Amino acid sequence: MSPIFPYKAKNSKLEDVSGAVEAQSMDEAIKKIQKEGLLILLIEEGKADGSSFKPIVNKRHSFVSDMKENITEWCEERNGFFRLPLLIWFAYLLIRYLGNPDYQSIFGNLNLGIHELGHIVFSFDGRFLAVSGGTMLQLLAPFFLALNFLRQSDYFATVLCSGWLSTNFFNVATYAGDAQAMVLPLVTIGGATPDVSHDWNYMLTQMGILSFDSAVAFFFRACGFLSMGFCLVFGGWMIFLMIKNPSKLKKRPAKV
């Protein structure tokens, strides 16, 4: 019978988990555990009958090194050419946003819809929370979607969520920068109306920093640049890993 390898690890939510796996060798046990999406903290070898065991190795890794290994293995089984146009498109969006702060991408209506929904979701505790809730949900939506993709070990989709988040940052920057001038047409649920209040004029006035609306806009614009930069750099790295080693794709159907 094959030996038993008890282990301690962390799951995708970084919760501590433990268990045991039957394998012919330590390397095989490690691969089996990692295929379950777990980050190994400790692995030990015991007897096949599950009786007392003697530790032979501590397999401790940092979160970064374990994630890098998982992403590398995942990328080697995927088609990079299928995903490359998406990354090129996000690079195009970054160029447009940097060239025109008022640019609205294909994400514009989606971001606006989530923004308006945020006013409703956060309307349970006063006006300030309800007003700021639009921006909060707009920025949180890509984050929660990224967590969902991460739980599914779809690392490329997780990175693309950072690109979507970037479009929201640029949108918020434009809105915040208009806090004093208030020349942007405002939209609320049901369509455009002259009676709706300006979110960022209200929020910055309440915080006593209305005169710093340009600085607030610059901050969000910088976050948008960094978020899209993360998407392009790490997305490009993953596509490089997918394309550089096509041999595994020839051995079995490519996973898209």
The pLDDT, as a whole number, for residue 167 is 97
Is residue 73 one of the residues assigned to a domain? no
pLDDT given at position 256: 53
Please give the helix or strand (H or E) that residue 6 lies within, else none.
Answer: strand 4-10
Give the per-residue pLDDT at 16.
Answer: 85
Q: Please give the full DSSP string across 28-97, using - where no structure is assigned.
A: HHHHHHHHTT-EEEEE-BB-TTS---B--------HHHHHHHHHHHHHTTB-HHHHHHHHHHHHHHHHHH
CB 243 within 8 A of CB 81: yes
If asked whether residues 95 and 212 sit together in one domain, one would say yes
Alpha carbon distance 121, 18 (integer Å): 38
Q: Is 251 left (phi over 0), alpha (psi -120 to 50) or beta?
A: alpha
Phi, psi (degrees; rounded to nearest 5) at 115: -60, -50
Within 10 Å of residue 243's Cβ, how many Cβ atoms? 16
- Write out pLDDT tens, residues 223-236: 999 999 999 999 99
Residue numbers of the domain that contains 38: 4-61
Answer whether residue 67 is part of any domain.
no
Predicted TM-score (pTM) of this structure: 0.72
Tell whether 33 is covered by a domain. yes
Domain co-membership, 139 together with 35:
no
Do the domain assignments include residue 256?
A: no
Is the separation of the CB atoms in 59 and 24 below 8 Å? no
Question: Do 21 and 101 share a domain, yes or no?
Answer: no
75 vs 10, 123, 198, 235, CA distance in Å?
21, 42, 45, 11
User: How many domains, the chain?
Assistant: 2
Structure tokens given for 34: 């990692």
- Contacts made by residues 82-87, CB under 8 angstroms, sequence distance 24+: 82/254, 82/256, 83/156, 83/235, 83/238, 83/239, 83/242, 84/239, 86/160, 86/235, 87/231, 87/232, 87/235, 87/236, 87/239
One domain, residues 30 and 99: no
In terms of domains, do 166 and 42 share one? no
Place of tokens 């899209």: 228
Q: Does 151 lie in the same domain as 32?
A: no
What span, in angstroms and rounded, lies between the C-alpha atoms of 83 and 135? 30
- Tell me the pLDDT of the chain (256 aa) as tens digits: 678 888 888 887 778 888 888 888 888 888 888 888 888 888 887 655 545 545 444 555 556 777 888 898 899 888 999 999 999 999 999 999 999 988 989 999 999 999 999 999 998 988 999 999 999 999 999 999 999 999 998 999 999 999 999 999 999 999 999 999 999 888 765 544 445 689 999 999 999 999 999 999 999 999 999 999 999 999 999 999 999 876 555 555 555 5
d(CA 105, CA 114) in angstroms, rounded, equals 15
Same domain, 19 and 130: no
The answer to whether residue 66 is domain-embedded is no
Cβ–Cβ < 8 Å for 163, 93: yes
